[in-house]
Each structure stands twice: as C-alpha cells, then as structure tokens.
A and B are shown apart, each in its own frame.
Chain A
Amino acid sequence: MNEAAPAMLPLAISGLVALSLALAILATVWPRQAHRIGGYGAVVVTASVLTLSALFLAAGPEPESAATRVALGGWEAPLGLMLHLDGLSMTLLVLTAVVGLATSLYSLGYVHDPIERRQFWPLWLWLWAGLNMLLLSGDAFNLYITLEVVSLSAVALVAFTGTAAAVSGAMRYLLVNILGSLSFLMGVVLLFGEHGVLDLVLLEARTEIGPTERMAAVLMTAGLMVKAALFPLHVWLAPAHGSAPAPVSAVLSGLVVTGSFYLILRLWMGPFAPLATPAFGILVGLLGVAALVWGSAQALRAGRLKSIVAYSTVAQFGYLLIAFPLMLVDPEAWKVVVFFAVVHALAKASVFLAAGTLQHAAGHDRVAEMGAILRARGRTVFALGLAGVSLMGLPFTGGFIAKYLLLEAGLGTILAGSLIGVLWVVAIAGGGLLAAGYVLRMVAPAFHHGPRDAGEAVSPWMDWVPLGLAVVAAAAGFAGTLTLHTLTLTPGAP
C-alpha cells in the first residue's frame, strides 16, 4: 500500500476538474485551434484519469481511505461545495475517459470542415468537463448544475450540423431535457426546504420517510428517467440519437444517458434508499421487461442503421431496470448494474462509431441498400460485429461477464423463493437472442453474395478507432474482477 496515495488524491481530483474546465474554456476562446486542443487534451485528460484511478486503488483497500471528499476553498459542507470521489464515480470516470478519448480521436477524422470544427470541439470539451464534474459532485445542487452543462452542450451537439432532421431532433431533445431538469430541480428544492442541506451524505443521514421525501423522490427520479430515456419515457431518444453526427451519438448513448442513470443510482442508494419497497421494485422490473421487448422490436423493424443502434439503447437500458428488483433481494447487485452499464457504454459507443463510418462511406444509412458497402468494409463490419457480440452477451466480451452476473443475481432471487424471478431470468437470457437478431440485421448483409463498393474514402481514424474501441469492449471481459473491486471502495454502499 502506498502511503502517499491518500495525500495525493485531493490534489489529483481538483486537478482533473481544473484541467477539463481549462481545456473547455481554452477551446472556446481559441476556436481556430480547438481541434488541436481537443485532440491533445483528450490524451492528457485520459492519462490524468488513469493516474487518478491508480492513486485511488493504491489508497485502498479500505473504502474509507480510498474514497475522498474535497472541500473547495476550504469550506466544508453544508456551507461549501464538496467534490466527492468513490469507487462508483471512479469507475464511471474511467469509462468516460476511454469513450471520450475514442470519440475525440474519431472526431479528428469525422469533423473536418473548418467551420464545423470550431463549433464541435468547444461543445464536446464542455460536455466532457460537465460529465467529469457531474461524477465528482457531492451535493444535489452541484449535480443539477453539471447535469445542465452536460444536457445543453449535448443538445447543441445534436444540432450543430444544421440539417433539418438534426435541428428537429435537437429541439425535441431540448424540450425533453428542460422538462427533466425542471422536475429534478423541483425535487432538489423540496429536499432543501425540508432539511436545509444539499450535500448527499448529509441528506442521507437526515432522510426519513415522509411525504416531502416521497414527492422529491418522484420528481427527481422522473426527471432523470426522462433524461436517461428509461422506458416509458424513451420516445425522444431514437430521433435524437439517430440523427446526430456519429461521434455525438456515441457519446449520447454511451455516456450522457449513463450519467443520468448514475444519478438515479446514487440517489436511490443514498437518500432515497428507505423508500424502495418490493412492490415498487417489481413495477420497475416489469417496465424493464417492457423496454427490452419494445426496444428490441423497434430495432428489429427500423430501416436505418443508426435507428437500430438507438433503439437497442432503449432495449439494453431495460436490463438496468430489471436489475432494480434484483437489488432489493441482493443489495450487492448494484455493482452488477454498474458493470453492465460500463460494458454497454463501451460496446454501444463503438457500434455507433462503426455505423458512422459506414454511413459516411455510403452517404446514407438505409440498411437495405448498404450491402455493397458492408461487403467492402470488412474492418468496420468486424468492429460492429465484435461490439455486437458484447451487446448480445456472448463470450469473450465484457457483455458476457455482465450477463453472467445479471443471470447470477436473477437466479439468486429464484433461489431466495421469489417466483417472479423466473420472469427476470427469462428476460435476461432471452434479451440476448433479441440482441442477436438486430445485430445480425446489421452484420449479415456483409455475407450476402453481391457487388462490393467501398464508397467514399474515410480517414484512418474513422477506419481504426471503432475497431479499437470494440476490442476494448471485448477486453472488458477480463476487467470484471478489477471493476467489482473498485466498486467495493464505495463507502455507505452495500
């Protein structure tokens, strides 16, 4: 164990926040060099997140010594703002860094118009900084602010190409986001009015089950469910994610949605934990099954490549809801949920990036007419297939390990005597088949007999980054032990 690690942690946390903010501001004031700032900055941010995680793990193995709270400016809560790092935020920070780096490198090839470049990079760097701060925030109001930074830059990113579809998708996205944010903010205000504190740790200590808490829980959760596109509040997702530029779709489906889900998890493991009842759990689980079936059905019917991927996000997030009743039986299962969200984000981002490459080469993304492109672009199809295998939950990928853990938790509920556990197990296992169906729709045309046409040239970044990220998503299968260990370093969690 490293003696210096706990001492270095607060500095590293503040440093990471400062670094990502500085990059975003720099790119905003110096847009002509924004792509260089972004490209090099992405590498630096990723390196510092990895350093932070090394420090974090070195400071363990006691959860209390690894998890760190930093008072900004020396003001402790409830007066000042606290930065908060624990195993959960660390895991998602690393995820954000990996997907962020891949997206940045991909965008170096994807966004080549000088004007678009000036718009894209500052927005993307703000989004990334917002995510980093969101994951490091420890109080409800700060969470609201960072959530807004993330949402607004995401909306602008959806719209920045300026096409009619993109703008209408962005408008819808904006309205939904505002609705979600307002709902969340109202909940925050209610809690503040009742208890006079915003810090999550302090809130958790003071929460009892009363009407105010219930109301706040409903408002905040509903707001976040809208943002996370959890069934049945998902309708905005497919148009927005499907029409956005590929790197933006990857970030939206991979990180932004996961960020909102992270908040739900945080709140329900913290202040709202006493409110969860078995009946409520079963309701959420049923919503999850519905999401899985409905999202998959839409993905099986969709005519456009990116719509298939977008609907698959709706379906895959169904697993996260199904996990809710499992967590009530076995509280440890929350780690499974996080691991699933991580491997899903990796796989989904790489599928979106691969789809973007194919769309760029073909000039459109109508599945029925893409056969020739698919046949000629084996490398990208391979990436699509490999990440798809992870979505199906088959070996050797991270998806397999996540599916294993989910099934284990599901069977655990059956063995604990819960009959409805059978439904969860069937859904968890059967979801893989549905995923196989829509992944096959994307990949199978590459194997049809027919002409080959590589289409428009794509930059090497766009050719190789999806494959690289897909390999990372597959290699996550070997990161199960490490991730679960990191997650145990979360104080207060079961």
Chain B
Amino acid sequence: MNDGGWLLLAILMSSLGPGLAIFFLPERRYGLRTLLNLGGSGTKLLLIGWLLLGVLRGDEYHFSVPLLPGIDFVLAADALSLLFATLSAVLWFVTTVYAIGYLEGSPRRSRFFGFFSLCISATVGIALSGNLITLLIFYELLTLATWPLVVHRGTPAALRAGRLYLAYTLTSGLVLFTAIVWLTLLAGAESFVPGGYLGDLATTHETALKVLFVMLMIGFGVKAALVPLHSWLPIAMVAPAPVSALLHAVAVVKAGAFGIVRVVNDVYGAEVAMELGLAAGLVVVAAITILYGSIQALRTDDLKQRLAFSTVSQVSYIVLGVALAGPLGVIGGLVHLVHQGITKITLFFCAGNFAETLGIHKISELDGVGRRMPLTMLAFTLGALGMIGLPPLAGFVTKWHLGLGALEAQFHWVLAVLVASGLLNAAYFLPPVIRGWLGERRTPWHEHLVEHSGPTRFETHWMLLFPTLFVAALSLLGGLLAGMSLSPLDWVTLIVERDYSIPGFAP
C-alpha cells in the first residue's frame, strides 16, 4: 500500500458501505434510504472528480494487499480506468435518481437498492482493478449482484431471464477464471501495463496464447454480448427500466467491453495481438455482431427489445475500435464506451418513461406520443440520432474516428460495415421517432401513472423526467463540445497519447 491508495478504497466504499447499510433498512425508511443512496453516489462523484484531477496531473494511485503468495489484490488508477469509472459514477447518480422515482411505492426497495449499490461498487472495482485477478474478482461480483436485479419483479419471465443470465455469465466466468489462472501460471500475476506484459511468451508459447485469447474473449464476450454469446441480453430486458439502463449503459455490457480493452491493450498489447492474428479475428467477430444486432433490432416491435439488440450492435463498436489496434481506431472505440453509455441510457430512460406514464411498450403504440410527452420524445430523438451517428451528435464522433482507424489499419471493408450499420441504425431508429412526432393518436391515452399516484406537474414524474433530460443533454454536448478539454474525446486522446508512443502521431 502506498500514497493515494486510500482514495481508491474510499471510492469503492462510497457505494459499498451505503449499499450494505441499505440491506438492513426496514422498507418504510424512505427518507434515510434516499439519503444513503444520494449521499453515496454524490460522494463517489466528488471522490472520482478528485482522482480525475490527480491523474490528469500525473499522480500515481496504487493500493495492494496480498491475496495469496505471489498474487496481490491491486487497485490502481490510470487514465483508462478513470474513463470507465467516471462514466459509471455519473450515470449511476442519474440512474439512482431515476430509480427512486421509478420504484416509488413498489415493494422490496431496500433489497433493490442494496444490490444496486453492490453493482456499482463492482463496476467501479472493475474500472480500478490493477491486474487480471482483481478484475476477475469484481467481474464475478458484478454477475452475482446483478442477478437479483434482473429477477427483481419475481414474475416467471423475470426468473427465466435471470436463469439464462446466470447460465451464460457463470459459465463464461468459469472459462475466464480458468484462462486467468493459466495465464498467471505462464506469465505471473503482473499488473496491467500499456503494451502488455507477455513479452517473449509470444514466441515460445504461441499456441497457448492463442487459446488463452479465445478463452478470455469468451469470458468477457458474454457480458459484452458478442455474437453468438449475446442471447441473454435481449431476454434480460424484462427487468425494470433502471436495471436495463444499468445492464446496457452503466455496468454489465460495459464491463465486458472494458475487459476486452484491458486484455488487448494492457495484457497482450496491440502488437502481440496483431502478430498472432488475434486482433484481425476480433475485428471480424465485432463486424458480424454489429450487423447481426442491427438486423435483429429491425425485426422486433417491442421498444425495449429493439434497444437491447441495438446495444448488441453498438457495444461491438468499442470492440471493433480496440481490435483495429491503431491509435485512431482505439480513440473511436474508447470514446464510444462513453458515447454509447450516455446515448443508450437516454433511450432506456425514455422507454421507461413511456411505459410508466402511458403503458407503452411497443413501437406501434408510439403514434402521437410527441404531443403528450414532448420533452421525453425530444430526448428520445436526440438519443436515436446520436446512435445513427448524425453530426454533431456524440455517435458521429465515434464513427468518424472508427472509419479513420479502419483506413489506417488497412481494413477497408470495415468502412462498408460502418456505412451499412449506419443505414440499419437509421432504419430501426427513425420509425419510432417519426411515429412519435408525426403519428396521430385517435383514442385517449391510458394514463397509467396518473391513475396510480395522482396528477403530475410535468408530463411525467419529475424524478423520471429530469434524469432523462440530463443524459440527453450530455449526449448532445458530448458531440458538440468534443473539442473542449476534458470532453470524452479529449480524455480518450490523452489515454492514447500516454499509452501509444507512436512517433509523429497527432490526433
């Protein structure tokens, strides 16, 4: 343990402590629970802000305790961890507010928020992990903490989704576990290093490293929903909207993608991954996933399911960017970690608002909703256009860099995939937008929320509306202000500048 380690621990504890306390709170202590929730997420935001400034200054943060002889539990903060940690902390805060509004009056909230906090602790733990074993610990913890949220409603459909989720994630977790133990036997329990730490092994243990890479990709690929390991994600959308937001934008799929980024950049290193032909394989898998997810999204009428398939497709942009293994591609991939997060959470919040306020679950029911809920519909439109990649929204920044990265890495066909995917995105995101604004509702709305909890001041409960507008604004600003300092793009460029020492490179 040395300097700054306590800050990392405090960041973990800021959600773990309140989370554990919430478990033991009686259901009726609404005020105290809300205080713990918001206090915890607020504290975490402040602490991460502090850490962010420190890392920007170039300070080192490191914490380790021995777990086994030769194997340490390591927390560390580099620019990449901060990217993920900041994203999760900001979105967690917003999602907490949203969840408090969403679950008002429903039973078993103490259990829900307890596991919710555990989830975010695990996610931030993943972000701050300093080596593969620590990453594995938090990764499995995330699996366990998410399951109670997926089955929260307790309906047969929810339980089925939960079983499927566990079957996929636990199996892949074991593959990952085995791979990590094996890798540790070969290369030792090293800390993450930009450029990887395998060194000479690439020549002596080529086959073993290839097998291990595939195993690691299976392990992380299930959470990142790479085709053909994605089936759990669209089914898990039966969970409540805040949980979907958590799964799709804040924690779970991101954890998978982040794991892939760590393996490619900081364990194998881009060079070794390219030499062994592993990066090219990953590019192909990512491209297939991008197209497959989009096509499946076209075929469904259920709004949340369409968003879920869109996640399958969009998360693979991150994988694609990293697998392209050049600076521009990596910028595109990493920045999409943030852009996909804020855009997708906007869309899920909107879907939750439609469902909670008016009982709308299908795209065919969206006709004319823009007149009843204009602000939510505006947010949805921003999110949808961002996903399609229209300038100046966030998604455009991603696709621009990915395209450049593909050219740089000589993968010309990837450009075609990007264009096709953009068109498919438009094909499945424009219909709900067009229906919402231009469609016409003939029968009166079924006022679900008003019946339950009385009239609302805004178009829906303020705790549902404000978080939605906030994240929508973020996704707009992410694109508009991409050139400013401390924007996601700027931060990602910093990561790449620090980690990829390529002569003459200027983003």
Decide yes or no: A447 and B152 within 8 Å by CB, A395-B136, A396-B137, A407-B177 being known contacts: yes
- In the complex formed, the residue of B with least CB distance to A393 is B177
Please give, as numbers and ranges, the residues of chain A lying within 8 Å of B144 by CB-CB distance: 389, 394
Please give, as numbers and ranges, the residues of chain A lying within 8 Å of B111 by CB-CB distance: 378
A286 CA / B148 CA spacing, docked (Å)? 36
Chain A positions 400 through 417: 1 when the CB is less than 8 Å from some CB of chain B, otherwise 0: 110111011001100100
Please give, as numbers and ranges, the residues of chain A lying within 8 Å of B182 by CB-CB distance: 411
State whether B185 touches A412 (Cβ < 8 A): yes
State whether A481 touches B66 (Cβ < 8 A): yes
State whether B68 touches A449 (Cβ < 8 A): no
- In the complex formed, the residue of A with least CB distance to B139 is A395
Chain A proximity of B12: nearest CB distance (Å): 12
Chain A positions 378 through 391: 1 when the CB is less than 8 Å from some CB of chain B, otherwise 0: 11001000000100
Chain B positions 138 through 178: 1 when the CB is less than 8 Å from some CB of chain A, otherwise 0: 10110110001001111100010011001000110111011
Chain B proximity of A145: nearest CB distance (Å): 37
- Identify A478's interface contact among B65, B136, B151, CB under 8 A: B65
Please give, as numbers and ranges, the residues of chain A lying within 8 Å of B170 by CB-CB distance: 392, 432-433, 436
- In the complex formed, the residue of B with least CB distance to A481 is B66
- Identify B181's interface contact among A408, A432, A444, A447, CB under 8 A: A408
Chain B positions 100 through 133: 1 when the CB is less than 8 Å from some CB of chain A, otherwise 0: 0000000000010000000000000000000001
Chain B proximity of A374: nearest CB distance (Å): 12
Please give, as numbers and ranges, the residues of chain B lying within 8 Å of A425 by CB-CB distance: 178
A159 CA / B159 CA spacing, docked (Å)? 40
- In the complex formed, the residue of A with least CB distance to B186 is A415
Q: Does B197 contact A (CB under 8 A)?
A: no
Number of A residues with CB within 8 Å of any CB on chain B = 36
State whether B141 touches A411 (Cβ < 8 A): no
State whether B154 touches A411 (Cβ < 8 A): no
State whether A382 touches B181 (Cβ < 8 A): no
State whether B137 touches A405 (Cβ < 8 A): no
Please give, as numbers and ranges, the residues of chain B lying within 8 Å of A433 by CB-CB distance: 170-171, 174
State whether A429 touches B154 (Cβ < 8 A): no
A404 CA / B180 CA spacing, docked (Å)? 10
Please give, as numbers and ranges, the residues of chain B lying within 8 Å of A449 by CB-CB distance: 153-155
Please give, as numbers and ranges, the residues of chain B lying within 8 Å of A364 by CB-CB distance: none
Please give, as numbers and ranges, the residues of chain A lying within 8 Å of B178 by CB-CB distance: 407, 411, 425, 429
Chain A positions 411 through 433: 1 when the CB is less than 8 Å from some CB of chain B, otherwise 0: 11001000000000100011011
A399 CA / B151 CA spacing, docked (Å)? 25
Q: Does A480 contact B (CB under 8 A)?
A: yes
Please give, as numbers and ranges, the residues of chain A lying within 8 Å of B174 by CB-CB distance: 429-430, 432-433
A400 CA / B163 CA spacing, docked (Å)? 22
Please give, as numbers and ranges, the residues of chain B lying within 8 Å of A407 by CB-CB distance: 177-178, 181
State whether B173 touches A415 (Cβ < 8 A): no
Q: Does B69 contact A (CB under 8 A)?
A: yes
State whether A405 touches B155 (Cβ < 8 A): no
State whether B23 touches A382 (Cβ < 8 A): yes
A429 CA / B24 CA spacing, docked (Å)? 34
Q: Does B201 contact A (CB under 8 A)?
A: no
| CB proximity to A under 8 Å, residues B63-86 | 65-69
State whether A408 touches B67 (Cβ < 8 A): no
Most buried by A among B66, B138, B170, B174: B174
A368 CA / B169 CA spacing, docked (Å)? 26
State whether B68 touches A405 (Cβ < 8 A): yes
Decide yes or no: A394 and B140 within 8 Å by CB, A411-B181, A444-B159 being known contacts: yes
Chain B proximity of A163: nearest CB distance (Å): 35
Please give, as numbers and ranges, the residues of chain B lying within 8 Å of A430 by CB-CB distance: 174
- In the complex formed, the residue of A with least CB distance to B24 is A379
Most buried by B among A403, A481, A485: A481
State whether B166 touches A481 (Cβ < 8 A): no
Number of B residues with CB within 8 Å of any CB on chain A = 37
Q: Does A484 contact B (CB under 8 A)?
A: yes
State whether A478 touches B67 (Cβ < 8 A): yes
Please give, as numbers and ranges, the residues of chain B lying within 8 Å of A36 by CB-CB distance: none
Q: Does A450 contact B (CB under 8 A)?
A: yes
- In the complex formed, the residue of A with least CB distance to B154 is A449
Please give, as numbers and ranges, the residues of chain A lying within 8 Å of B68 by CB-CB distance: 401, 404-405, 480-481, 484
State whether B137 touches A447 (Cβ < 8 A): no
Please give, as numbers and ranges, the residues of chain A lying within 8 Å of B152 by CB-CB distance: 447
Q: Does A202 contact B (CB under 8 A)?
A: no
- Identify B166's interface contact among A379, A403, A440, CB under 8 A: A440
A378 CA / B171 CA spacing, docked (Å)? 27
Chain A proximity of B268: nearest CB distance (Å): 19
A394 CA / B141 CA spacing, docked (Å)? 8
A436 CA / B140 CA spacing, docked (Å)? 13
Chain B positions 461 through 500: 1 when the CB is less than 8 Å from some CB of chain A, otherwise 0: 0000000000000000000000000000000000000000
Chain B proximity of A95: nearest CB distance (Å): 19
- In the complex formed, the residue of A with least CB distance to B23 is A382
State whether A395 touches B140 (Cβ < 8 A): yes
A119 CA / B171 CA spacing, docked (Å)? 47
State whether B67 touches A481 (Cβ < 8 A): yes
State whether A429 touches B159 (Cβ < 8 A): no
A408 CA / B180 CA spacing, docked (Å)? 10
Decide yes or no: A415 and B66 within 8 Å by CB, A396-B141, A425-B178, A448-B154 being known contacts: no
State whether A450 touches B67 (Cβ < 8 A): no
State whether A447 touches B159 (Cβ < 8 A): yes
Chain A proximity of B209: nearest CB distance (Å): 14
| CB proximity to A under 8 Å, residues B174-196 | 174-175, 177-178, 181-182, 184-185
A484 CA / B70 CA spacing, docked (Å)? 12
| CB proximity to B under 8 Å, residues A31-78 | none
Please give, as numbers and ranges, the residues of chain B lying within 8 Å of A403 by CB-CB distance: 177
Please give, as numbers and ranges, the residues of chain B lying within 8 Å of A485 by CB-CB distance: 69
Chain A proximity of B160: nearest CB distance (Å): 11
Chain A proximity of B155: nearest CB distance (Å): 6
Chain A positions 153 through 167: 1 when the CB is less than 8 Å from some CB of chain B, otherwise 0: 000000000000000
A433 CA / B166 CA spacing, docked (Å)? 10
A425 CA / B177 CA spacing, docked (Å)? 11
A163 CA / B210 CA spacing, docked (Å)? 60
Please give, as numbers and ranges, the residues of chain B lying within 8 Å of A396 by CB-CB distance: 137, 141
Please give, as numbers and ranges, the residues of chain B lying within 8 Å of A484 by CB-CB distance: 68-69
Please give, as numbers and ranges, the residues of chain A lying within 8 Å of B184 by CB-CB distance: 408
- In the complex formed, the residue of A with least CB distance to B71 is A404
A480 CA / B69 CA spacing, docked (Å)? 8
Chain A proximity of B54: nearest CB distance (Å): 27
Chain A proximity of B158: nearest CB distance (Å): 8
Chain B proximity of A289: nearest CB distance (Å): 16
Chain B proximity of A338: nearest CB distance (Å): 14
Please give, as numbers and ranges, the residues of chain A lying within 8 Å of B23 by CB-CB distance: 378, 382
| CB proximity to B under 8 Å, residues A443-486 | 444, 447-450, 477-478, 480-481, 484-485
Chain B proximity of A403: nearest CB distance (Å): 8
State whether B69 touches A481 (Cβ < 8 A): yes
State whether B154 touches A447 (Cβ < 8 A): yes
Chain B proximity of A279: nearest CB distance (Å): 26
State whether A429 touches B177 (Cβ < 8 A): yes
State whether B181 touches A395 (Cβ < 8 A): no
A-B contact pairs, 24 of them (CB 8 A): A378-B23, A378-B111, A382-B23, A392-B170, A395-B138, A396-B141, A404-B181, A407-B181, A408-B185, A411-B178, A411-B181, A411-B182, A411-B185, A429-B174, A433-B170, A433-B171, A436-B170, A440-B163, A447-B154, A448-B159, A449-B153, A481-B66, A481-B67, A484-B69
Measuring CB to CB, which residues of chain B are less than 8 angstroms from any residue of chain A?
A: 23-24, 65-69, 111, 133, 136-138, 140-141, 143-144, 148, 151-155, 159, 162-163, 166, 170-171, 173-175, 177-178, 181-182, 184-185
Additional pairs, 6, CB under 8 Å, beyond known A396-B141, A448-B154, A484-B69: A389-B144, A396-B137, A404-B68, A411-B181, A429-B174, A429-B178
Cβ-closest 5 pairs across A and B:
A449-B154, A395-B137, A407-B181, A429-B174, A447-B151
Measuring CB to CB, which residues of chain A are less than 8 angstroms from any residue of chain B?
A: 378-379, 382, 389, 392, 394-396, 400-401, 403-405, 407-408, 411-412, 415, 425, 429-430, 432-433, 436, 440, 444, 447-450, 477-478, 480-481, 484-485
